[in-house]
């Protein structure tokens, strides 16, 4: 399995259908053909990233938001 954002293979399983990428530090869930991607914040909480509705490759769909 590869990360849906960066395509890295260095991923870990957090729970049932929940994964973590050690390369880009994002979490995601998958189920029923839908992948939801979450950004891990500095306090340890997660925030769901918005995706566009156009049929683009997943790595290009995510709207990245950074603090600062």
pLDDT tens for 23-67 read: 998 999 987 878 889 998 889 899 998 765 434 455 445 555 555
Residues 5, 39: Cα–Cα separation, whole Å: 11
Q: How far apart are CA 61 and CA 50, in angstroms?
A: 8
- Report field, pTM of the whole predicted structure over 0.75: no
- State how far the Cα of 63 lies from the Cα of 60, in Å rounded to an integer: 8
Distance separating the N- and C-terminal Cα atoms of the chain: 32
Show me where the domains of the chain are located.
Answer: 1-52
């Amino acid at each position: 399995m590869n990360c849906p954002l960066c395509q890295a293979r260095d991923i870990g399983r957090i729970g049932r259908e929940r994964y973590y990428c050690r390369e880009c530090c994002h979490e995601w869930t998958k189920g029923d053909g839908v992948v939801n991607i979450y950004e891990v914040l500095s306090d340890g909480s997660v925030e769901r990233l918005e995706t566009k509705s156009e049929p683009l490759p997943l790595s290009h769909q995510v709207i990245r938001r950074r603090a600062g």
